[in-house]
Amino acid sequence: MDITTKNTEAPPPAPQPTVAEQKRAARGATRPGDRIFLGLSRGSGILLLVIMAAIAGFLAYRASIAISKDDANFLTAFEWNTGLLPPKFGIAVLAFGTVVSSIIAMVIAVPIAVAIALFLTHYAPRRLRGPIAYVIDLLAAVPSIVYGLWGALILVPHMTGLFGWLDEYLGWTGIFSWQAGAPRSMLTVGILLAIMILPIITNVSREVFRQAPQMIEEAALALGATRWEVIRMAVLPFGRSGVISASMLGLGRALGETMAVATVLSPSFTIQTSLLDPGGGTFAQNIASKFSEASELGRDALIASGLVLFVITLLVNGAARMIIARRKEYSGANA
């Protein structure tokens, strides 16, 4: 009894191995081979940090050039005219479009992805689990431009039925009203993004659900719980933080997606209050479609909008990683 309490209270004796390791490292470092190798590997680690800093620095520098020449408020202006004298451009429309399309994607993708992850870990016939997971891995690798082509050819025409229905029954809300025109709107973009981020959310959630403690599940089953009750009481609470971080990874993808949005959306520089009417834009789509005709100032302005996108994705991904880190991560040999 005494021994067990001691073991649970005090962490395993840490100082001894670290001292030994330090000694070994110190002795090893005197060998030229070791010193070179350590230098190389540490150097490349530092290089990664330098690249991140450089991305922020260079983007901020070019952005500052553009913003200083901007005659309108960069954050709130509703236009993008870099050719005017004085030039006027702002990111309000882009920020709105980016956020709205990503939210639509998340609302659709997260529940379906969680369901598929549960399907793969708890429902699918055992023999099918491997192949299905494999196929989903492959789908995560389909290039976004192909999703864009497919979206423009197949998804957009198939949206007319849904849009008509939404307009007829939910049009009074204002969010789902539709004034005809091709359904190349934010809702279509959101649905396409949802399809694109489905594989990554599914993959990460599946990993988390698979790690859910088997013993608790079996205990619940032994007490007479149905499979759904096991999932609700033992699997989902365990996997909650994992699902949140998976969703945020998917959100990061959706925020920065370029080509699929550029091929499906018919852009305009207005905020559409209805999700069904074409128009609006996202950061990445705007950069891709405005870039080829942009002057030098135009490019700087696009870089400035890219900086905003960079900061947003940085925050989203950072938050996702913090959530993951709070969970004690299982690691193999060198923890």
Partner 1 sequence: MSTAVADKRPSSTLRGASLPKWSPYAIAVGSVAVAAGIGLAAGLDSRIQWGLIAAILFVLGTYVISARVEGRRQAKDRVATSLVWVAFLLALLPLVSLVWTTVSRGVKVLDVYFLTHSMGLISDTEPGGGIYHAIIGSLEQVGLATVIAAPIGVLTAIYLVEYGRGNLARSVTFFVDVMTGIPSIVAGLFILSIMLMFDMQPFGFAGSLALAILMMPVVVRSTEEMLKLVPNELREASLALGVPKWRTILKVVLPTSIGGITTGIMLAVARIAGETAPVLLLVWGNSLINSNPFEGAQQSLPLYIYQQYQNSQGSGAAYDRAWAAALTLIAFVMILNLVARGIARWKAPKTGR
Binders in 273-312 for partner 1, by CB under 8 A: 284, 287-288, 291, 296, 299-300, 302-303, 306, 309-310
The beta-strand segments (E) located in the chain are 80-81, 88-89
Q: Does 14 bind partner 1 (CB under 8 A)?
A: no
H and E: helices and strands count for the chain: 14, 2
The answer to whether residues 268 and 185 touch, using CB atoms and an 8 Å cutoff, is no
Is residue 218 at the binding interface for partner 1, with CB under 8 A as the rule?
A: no
Quote the tokens at residue 331.
Answer: 């690691």
The residues that bridge with 89 in the sheet, in sequence order, are 80
Beta-carbon contacts of 66 under 8 Å, excluding residues fewer than 6 positions away, are: 297, 300, 301, 303, 304
Contacts of 321 (CB under 8 A, 6+ apart): 245
Nearer to partner 1, 160 or 273 (CB): 160
**143 counts as binding partner 1 under rule CB under 8 A:** yes
Closest approach of partner 1 to the CB of residue 228, in Å = 4
In this structure, the number of other CB atoms found within 10 A of the CB of residue 193 comes to 30
Residues 87-106 that bind partner 1 (CB under 8 A): none
From 99, 107, 138, 180, residue interacting with partner 1 (rule: CB under 8 A): 138
- Chosen residue from 19, 46, 180, 219 binding partner 1 by CB under 8 A: 46
Binder of partner 1 out of 12, 15, 86, 224 (CB under 8 A)? 224
Size of the site for partner 1 (CB under 8 A): 97
Q: Does residue number 144 form part of the binding site for partner 1 (CB under 8 A)?
A: yes
Beta carbon nearer to partner 1, 321 or 326: 321
- Tell me if 272 contacts partner 1 by CB under 8 A: no
When the beta carbons of 276 and 308 are compared against partner 1, the nearer one is 308
Which is closer to partner 1, CB of 53 or CB of 174? 53
Q: What residues numbered 152-191 form the site for partner 1, per CB under 8 A?
A: 152-155, 158, 161
Which window, 6-14, 89-97, 172-180, 245-253, contacts partner 1 (CB under 8 A)?
245-253
SS (H, E, C) 33-86: HHHHHHHHHHHHHHHHHHHHHHHHHHHHHHHHHHHHHCCCCCCCCCCEECCCCC
CB 6, min distance to partner 1, A: 25
Alpha-carbon distance of 80 to 268, in angstroms, equals 10
Q: Is 145 in the site for partner 1 (CB under 8 A)?
A: yes
Q: Does 246 bind partner 1 (CB under 8 A)?
A: no
31 binds partner 1 (CB under 8 A): yes
Tokens of 23: 């000694």
Between 43 and 83, whose beta carbon lies closer to partner 1? 43
| Site for partner 1 contains 19 (CB under 8 A) | no
The three-state secondary structure class of 278 is strand
For 184, 195, 267, the CA distances from 181, given in Å and listed in that order, are 8, 23, 13
Distances (CA, A) of 208 to 107, 138, 201, 213, 236: 20, 20, 11, 10, 10
